Structure 1
Amino acid sequence: MEHLIPRIHQLATQVAADVVALRHHLHAHPELSFQEFQTAAFVTEQLQNLGLKPQAMATTGVVALIEGRNPESRVVALRADMDALPIQEQNEVPYRSQNAGVMHACGHDVHTSSLLGTARILSQLRDEFEGTVKLIFQPGEEIVPGGASIMIEEGVLENPVPDSVFGQHVFPMLPAGKIGLRSGRYMASADELYLTVRGKGGHGAMPDINIDPVLVTAHLIVAMQQIVSRRANPKIASVLSFGKVIANGATNVIPNEVYVEGTFRTLDEKWREEAHVHLRKLAEGLAESMGATCELEIRRGYPCLDNEPELTARVKAAAEEYLGAENVIEIDQWMAAEDFAYYSQSANSCFYRLGTRADDGRFASSVHTPTFDVDSKALEIGPGLMAWLAVRELTAPSSTEKASL
C-alpha cells in the first residue's frame, strides 16, 4: 500500500485550499454543544456533494460510509467533533466568529473540515482499497454526557462494526507538520463537583449567633485537597480544582449558603470510584462538625481515554511512513478529558494530536482561549494523514486473522 503515499500527498495538496475554506466557514459560524444544526446541515451537504449518503444521529450527528472494493471485509471509523465553546473571540481575522459569545476555541472546526478533506481524498481512492471507512461527525463533545456516548447508544459503532476507530485533536504545543502519540492510558476521567454549603446567615458583626457557611466552605476547599495529597496513591495522577465559589453576602452580611463548582480528574478508574466516596464523606462530616450541612453532587463525566497499544503502534508506523519519523512525537499523559474515551471503551481506538503551531511561534495560544487559531498548514497534514491511516489500517490483519497465523 506504500505506493499510495505519494498519491495521497498529491490529493491532500489539491484539496488543501478547499479544506481551509471549509474551516473558515465553520469557524465563522460556530454553534454550541447539541445545537450544531447549521453545522450538521453544512456537513451533510458536503458529503452529499461527494456522492455519499449521510445519515443523521443524535439529533445533530452525521454518519456516512465510503465503500471501497469488498466493503464488508474490514471497517475503519474516523471521528470528528463539531461543537464550539461559549467564548468571545478576540482574533481579528476575516473568518472571526459571527456569533457573539461563541467560538471554535478548541479546534473542532479544524477536526470537522479535516475529516471532510479526508472524505474528499478517500472518495477518489475507492478503487485503491478494500473495506469501508465510516465517517463520524459528532455533536456535543464539550459538555456532559458527551455526544460520543449518545452516538454509541444510538448504534454508531454498529452496522457496520468498525475494527478500529481514529480521532485527532489540535495541539498548539507542536508545530504544524508533526503529530503527537501516546500508547495506553492517555487522558484523564473528568467528574463535575457541585457543592452547596448551608449555614445560618446574619449580621457580620455577630458571628456567634450565626453558622458561617463561608468559613465552612473555606475549610472544605482546603481539606478536600488532602483527598488527592494524602488518600491517593502517589503514583496515580489526580487533580481536584474548584473554579467557582458564590457566597452572595456583603461586607457585613453572612449569607445562608455558599455554592461551589469544581472538577475531579484521575488516570485510574478504580481510584476514581474510591475518591468519590472519600469526597462525600469528608464534605458531609466536616460541615456537620462545624454546625453546617452540605450537599455534594458528583456528576460523572468522561472516563479515562486509552489508546490500544497494538493499534497505536500501527498508527505510529503509518504516520512515520507518511510524515517521516522525525515528525511523529511521543507525548505525555494529559489531565484534560475527551469524550473520545467512550469509543476507546467500546472499540480498538487511537486518539492522536495534530500539531497546529507555526514554525515562527505564531498560533501558540492554548485551546479554550479567545485567541486560539491554527497554522493552515495543519489543514493539509490532517486530511492526508487520516486518509493514509484509514487505508493502511484496512490492510492490517484482524484479530481473527492474527489468531490463525
Structure 2
Amino acid sequence: MIQPERIRELAAAQAADVVALRHHLHAHPELSFEEHETVAFVKQQLESLGLKPQPIAGTGLVALIEGRNPGRRAVALRADMDALPIQEQNEVPYRSQNPGVMHACGHDVHTSSLLGAARILVQLRNEFEGTVKLMFQPGEERLPGGASVMIREGVLENPAPQSVLGQHVFPQLPAGKIGIRAGRYMASTDELYLTVRGKGGHGAMPEQNLDPVLVAAHLIVAAQQIVSRRANPKMPSVLSFGKVIANGATNVIPNEVYIEGTFRTMNEQWRQEAHQHLRQLCEGLAASMGAECELEIRNGYPCLENDEATTARTKAAAETYLGADNVVELDQWMAAEDFAYFSQAAPSCFYRLGTRAADGRFASSVHTPTFDIDHAALETGPGLMAWLALQELAAE
C-alpha cells in the first residue's frame, strides 16, 4: 500500500518543475476556447510521460494513466486551462506576455497541479489498481462551459469514472491548507436581459409619453420580491441587476430601457420556478403600466453539489495527507463554476486549494489584475491530487 509519506516525497522532489510549468502557463494565457498553445504545451508534457492524450472539446485533452487491473475502478481528475480578459499588474518575471489576457483565476495553477499529479501517478502505476483519467478542460469562463462540451463528447465514458475530483485556488486560505464542503456548495448562474418598451418624448410633457424608465424602476424593485417572498428562506437565492441603460437626456424620455442582471440559486427545481415568476412579473407589471417588457434568460451553469460520500472520503484522505488542522470547512458560495456539470453527472467533489502566503502576501482575490500565489501551493496541490486519486481507486 502506498503511504502518504511517499507521495509527499515525490511532490517535494518535483516542486520546482511544477513551479516552472506554472510560470510558463502564466506567461502565455489564452482566452476560453482559444487555448491552442496551452493545449499543445500540455500535450507535449503528457507525451513526455509516455501517455497518449486525445483531443476533446476543441481545445481540451483527456489522457489515461492505467495501473494494474485498469478496469477495476476509475477516477477522473479535472483542471481548467483558460484565462481571463484582464491586464495583469503584477511585476514578476512570469507576468503575462499577452496584452489584456491574464491567468487571474488560477487555471494555470490547476493545470500545472494536474500535470504534477500525473508525474507522480505515472511513477506509481505499477503499485496501484485502476485507471486515473486526466481531464484538461477548455472554456470554464465562458458559456456554455467546456465541461458541458466534454461531457457531451463522452469524457465520462470509456471508462466511466466512479468519481470526479477538481480543485480551485482559494487566496482566503494559506498555502498548505484546503477548504471543502459536502452537499450544496456553489450556485447556478443565469443571465437576464430585459428590454422595457414605452413611448418616449419631451420630459416636460410626461402625459404625452409612456415612460419606460419609470416602468423599469418598478420592475427592478418588484423583482426582488421573488427572492424575499417567493423563495424558501432556507434556499440561497440572489437576484442582481448590474446594467441599466436609459439612453435619454435630462429632458428626453427614451423609447426603451435595457437592463442586464443575474439570478443565482442552489436548487434546480426552484431555479426553473423562479424563471417563470420572473417572466410573469416582467410581462404583467409592464402591461399593467401600459408598456411592454421582453425578458431573455440565458441558462448558465447549474448548481454545484458535492456528493456526500465522495466528499467524506476526500476530506478523510486530505486530513491524512495534510493533517486535520489543514482541512477547513467551507461556507456556501454564490459564485458559479462549470465543474457543476460534472457534479450533476457523476459523484464528485470540488475543493479549494489555499494559495495565500503565511505573512499575508498573495491575498488578492481571483479575477483581479494582482492575483498571484504562494508557490508552496504547487507542492501541496499536485501531491494531494495524486493522493486523493489513489484513495478513490482503493475505495470499495
Q: TM-score range by the shorter chain?
A: over 0.9
Q: Secondary structure at the match of 2:320?
A: helix
Distance between the aligned counterparts of 1:195 and 1:179, measured in 2? 40
Q: Which residue of 1 aligns with 2:268?
A: 269
Cα deviation 1:222-273 (Å, max 9, x = unaligned):
1111110111111111000111222222333222222111110111122111
Q: Secondary structure at the match of 1:126?
A: coil
Q: Which residue of 2 aligns with 1:96?
A: 95
Cα deviation 1:169-190 (Å, max 9, x = unaligned):
1111111100011111111111
Please list every run of 5 or more consecutive structure 1 residues that lacks an aligned counterpart in the other structure: 398-405
Q: TM-score, normalised by structure 1?
A: 0.95
- Aligned pairs (5 A) from 1:345-356: 345-356=344-355
Distance between the aligned counterparts of 1:97 and 1:150, measured in 2? 27
Q: Which residue of 1 aligns with 2:12?
A: 13
Q: Secondary structure at the match of 1:332?
A: coil
Q: Secondary structure at the match of 1:86?
A: coil
Distance between the aligned counterparts of 1:19 and 1:202, measured in 2? 63
Cα deviation 1:40-72 (Å, max 9, x = unaligned):
111111111111100000100100011111111
Q: Which residue of 2 aligns with 1:257?
A: 256
Distance between the aligned counterparts of 2:38 and 2:102, measured in 1? 13
Distance between the aligned counterparts of 1:257 and 1:18, measured in 2? 57
Q: Which residue of 1 aligns with 2:136?
A: 137
- Aligned pairs (5 A) from 1:255-404: 255-397=254-396
Distance between the aligned counterparts of 2:63 and 2:310, measured in 1? 23
CA drift at 1:191: 0.9
Q: Which residue of 2 aligns with 1:58?
A: 57
Q: Secondary structure at the match of 2:284?
A: helix
Q: Which residue of 2 aligns with 1:163?
A: 162
Mean Cα deviation higher: 255-264 or 201-210: 201-210
Q: Which residue of 2 aligns with 1:400?
A: none
CA drift at 1:280: 0.7
1:208 aligns with 2:212: no
Q: Secondary structure at the match of 2:195?
A: strand
CA drift at 1:329: 0.8
Q: Secondary structure at the match of 1:225?
A: helix
Distance between the aligned counterparts of 1:248 and 1:181, measured in 2? 46
Letter in 2 for 1:125: L
Mean Cα deviation higher: 158-167 or 199-208: 199-208
Q: Secondary structure at the match of 1:223?
A: helix
- Aligned pairs (5 A) from 1:103-182: 103-182=102-181
Q: Which residue of 2 aligns with 1:403?
A: none
CA drift at 1:76: 0.7
Distance between the aligned counterparts of 1:388 and 1:121, measured in 2? 9
Q: TM-score, normalised by structure 2?
A: 0.98
Q: Secondary structure at the match of 2:64?
A: strand
Q: Secondary structure at the match of 1:72?
A: coil
Cα deviation 1:85-143 (Å, max 9, x = unaligned):
12222222222212222211111111011101111111111111111100000111112
CA drift at 1:214: 1.9
Q: Which residue of 1 aligns with 2:235?
A: 236
Distance between the aligned counterparts of 1:113 and 1:282, measured in 2? 47
CA RMSD of aligned residues (A): 1.1
Mean Cα deviation higher: 270-279 or 197-206: 197-206
Q: Secondary structure at the match of 1:189?
A: coil
Distance between the aligned counterparts of 2:356 and 2:134, measured in 1? 26
Q: Secondary structure at the match of 2:189?
A: strand
CA drift at 1:35: 1.1
Distance between the aligned counterparts of 1:235 and 1:121, measured in 2? 43
Q: Which residue of 1 aligns with 2:196?
A: 197
Identity of aligned residues (%): 80
Q: Secondary structure at the match of 2:158?
A: coil
Please list every run of 5 or more consecutive structure 2 residues that lacks an aligned counterpart in the other structure: none
Distance between the aligned counterparts of 1:213 and 1:283, measured in 2? 12
